[in-house]
Structures are given as C-alpha cells and as structure tokens.
Amino acid sequence: MTQAPRSRWWRRWPSFRRDRDLITVAIERGADADGCAVCWVLEARERRSLWILLREHVLDPGTRGDWNRTLGFCARHTSALCATATGMGQLPGVAILFGDTAREVARRVGAGARLHVWRDCLECGREAQSEAAHLRRLAQQLGDAAWTERWAPKLRLCVRHAASIMRTGMRTGVRARPTIPLAEHLREIAVIGGSHDARSLRRTLATLQAASLGFESPSGVPALPLWGCGVCDAETTAVTDEGRRLFQDGGTPDGTLCRRHAGLLLARSAVAPAQLADHYSSALQRAVDALEERRTKRSAVLPTACPLCDFVEAHAGELAASGAPDSEAALCLRHFEVALERPAASGGAFRAAHIEALRALSDELGELHRKSSWDARDEPKGTEQTSWIRAAHYLGYDARALPLTR
C-alpha cells in the first residue's frame, strides 16, 4: 500500500496553525480544550513520556542508568507510572524498573552511601522544563495583539499558571494586557450554588481542585496490599485527627488542601464532600483576590500551601518516634532514609534487615517479570503477582493510591 502524500495531511492542518511553532500550537490546542491550557499541555506530555518509557526505553541502558541514579520517580510519578503500565498491560516494565530501585537501594545501604530519595525525579524535571517553556511562550504571545485577540477569549488558566503568567510577564517586560481575563473564569468556578447530588458534588469538587491545584496525574497504585510502614500509619492517623479538628464546627482551614490529604480525609470520613467543596471554593476566592491584587502589587500571597502538609513537616520528628515499628525492615523508603539519620539506626542489624527485605522484594519482582513471558505461561502464579504493588507502596510513601502534593 502506498503512503498518503504529505500534502494531504498538511491541508487538513488548520491554516491558522501553519505558521506557528510547536509550543504555540500546543498552547492553542490546550486553549481549545476544557480547563487550564498549560495543565492540558503538561498532562499530555506526562502521558506521552510515561508511555514511551514503558514501551521503548525500559531496556535502554542510558534510561536505566538515569533511573538507578535517581532511585526512580517521586510518589506522584510512581503512581502515574503504575496507572500507565496497568492501562497498557506493561507490568513487566514496571517490575524491571522497581527491581532496579530495590537492588540499588540495597547496594547503597550496604555501602553506607547516601540515598537522596526524591531529590531528582526525572519526570518532575522534564515537567518543569516543559512548563517553563510553555509559560514563557504564552507570556510572549499575550504581548502580541493579533494572537491575543484570537485566543484570549478561550484561554483558561489554573491559579498556579495564572500567577506564573503574571510573574513571567513582569520579568520579561511583556505584561499581559489588563483586558485579558486571567482570573474571571476562576471566580465563576469558585461560586458553587444550589443543591448537589453525590455525583455532581464530586464533579464540582474535581473542577474546584483542578482550578486551585492544577492537573491531576493518574493514580494507579491499588490500595492493597500495603507495604505496612509504621511511620506512614502514625502519620495517617495524626493527619486525619488534625484534619477533623480543622473542619470541626463548620470551620474551614486556611490555605488549600492538597489532593492526597483531601482524599485521605474523605476516605476516613473525617470531612463531608460538601465541606470540602466549601473549603476549595473559599480558597479559590481568596486566590482570585490575591491574583487581582498582584496586577498592581507583587507581594500578594496566594493561599496555596496545604495546612496538613505543613502539619506533617512541623511534626516530622514526633511522628517518626511515635510510629517506630518493631521491625524497622518494614519502613518505606522515605522514612527509612529519615531513620538512617538517627544514631540508633547506624547499627549493622538495622541496615541488614532492610537489605534483606529489599532482596526478597527484588527476587519477587524478577519472578513477576519472568512469569510474564510466553514460555512461563503454564507456571502457577504466586505472591510475586502483587510484588509491584508492594514495591509501589514502598517507593511511593504508602500514598494510599492517591497522588501527592503538587
């Protein structure tokens, strides 16, 4: 079969996009979609990047070298990777990558080297690069009268990206014209009126979260079986109690709850969906006020910090002490790194137990990979089938299948 000539594809490409660079075209496609245009671009980038990693790069030595250097992704991207892999039926790829991390952590612990967990997530780095490039170009285009006239009426941005555009515009000297409505649609979203049934309330909540926090990475770590980190458990209990306290008597906390903590409070029935929607609605209204203040005053502060993330940070020491489990081999990666800094943890037995647990995990992941092959199709399946879920909980800080703060 002969290939269709290029010119036919070219004729289908809308004429108004033919003289655009790819970054501008991506922004315009984002503006055509629902929600924040920059978030749309980032979401599409993330999907593509994880798909390519699993389909093509998982056996590439350079990619594996980078993965081992950074010990894999942060919790949010670990969860997104699992969602992508499940959707593609690519669990062997995940077993290979998680197996690499387990062996590399064991090697570093054995050698007394530093772990540096989550310091350098490759996907976060790529996302930041793409975000900066698209925001820069958008700020430039908003200085162009013809482009602005065509696209500004459609352009929607979340709180974070509207704030970034104002900042980028100030820095580069290209100010978004005051007539461009960067925050009006946010104010419309913030007003939640009328009565809701359960389903429409969830939809409203999702819209409010998207406007306040930006796009949501897919979450793909099943809730069970857990890794069972004692510090994570202590943290979950303390955060739930604190969340219940913040919302008691119809109160609503300052700041904006991150998705993970909002999801946790909902799952534990510490807050009702309607209360949570009220919280996001008032946080979004405060954010829009601050955005409008920013047009004239740089110092206006956006209320985007999560009060429960702040709580965890402020009480990290107490939580680590109260949740110290009997067998420290069961700590998740992040809490194991924290525990290593305690003098009591410098003992060889503490490290050896953790290394032992990691070797067992990496053996199971190896088995999962092996049994995924055609040759092993008749072999009975065992506990190795859930090893990738345990590994995801170990790596992703027992994230209860919910993505972490953005």
* Residue ranges binding Zn ion (CB under 5 A): 36, 38-39, 74, 77, 121, 123-124, 158, 161, 214, 229, 231-232, 258, 261, 306, 308-309, 332, 335
Shortest reach from residue 184's CB to Zn ion, in Å:
16
Task: Give CA–CA dist 175/57, Å, rounded.
Answer: 41
Residue of 51, 117, 94, 106 whose CA lies nearest to 366: 94
Q: Tell me which residue of 173, 168, 182, 174 sits closest to 142, measured CA to CA.
A: 174
Residue type, 115: L
Cα–Cα nearest to 98, from 398, 363, 377, 404: 363
Q: Tell which residue, 254, 260, 246, has the closest CA to residue 209.
A: 260
CB-wise, 83 or 306, nearer to Zn ion? 306
Alpha-carbon span 128 to 124, nearest angstrom: 6
- CA angle, 359 then 365 then 368, to 5°: 145
Nearest distance, CB of residue 232 and Zn ion, angstroms: 3
Closer CB to Zn ion, 207 or 385, in the complex: 207
Tell me the C-alpha to C-alpha distance, in Å, between residue 64 and each of 55, 67, 71, 105. 14, 5, 10, 14
Question: Minimum distance from CB of 193 to Zn ion (Å)?
Answer: 24
Q: How far is the CB of 5 from Zn ion (least distance, A)?
A: 38
Cβ(301)–Cβ(184) below 8 Å: no
CA distances from 23 to 130, 146, 161, 341, 380 (A): 9, 17, 16, 44, 50
Q: What Å distances lie between residue 403 and 40, 122, 136, 175, CA to CA?
A: 18, 17, 27, 34
Q: Shortest gap between Cβ of 7 and Zn ion (angstroms)? A: 36
CB count in 10 Å sphere of residue 269: 9
Q: Of 53 and 308, which CB lies nearer to Zn ion in the complex structure? A: 308
Between 277 and 331, name the residue whose CB sits nearer to Zn ion: 331
For Zn ion, the closer CB: 214 or 218: 214
Q: Is 272 left (phi over 0), alpha (psi -120 to 50) or beta?
A: beta
Structure tokens at 335: 């809490």
Give me the least distance between CB of 263 and Zn ion, in Å please. Answer: 10
Cβ at position 211, least distance to Zn ion in Å:
9
Residue 274: both structure tokens together: 């309607």
Residue 393 tokens read as: 């909980």
Shorter beta-carbon distance to Zn ion: residue 259 or 369: 259
Q: How far is the CB of 261 from Zn ion (least distance, A)?
A: 4
Q: Smallest distance, Å, CB 285 to Zn ion?
A: 18
Q: Are 134 and 38 in contact (CB under 8 A)?
A: yes
Tokens of 138: 């958008």
Distance CA 265, CA 241 (A): 9
CB of 259 to Zn ion, least distance (A): 8
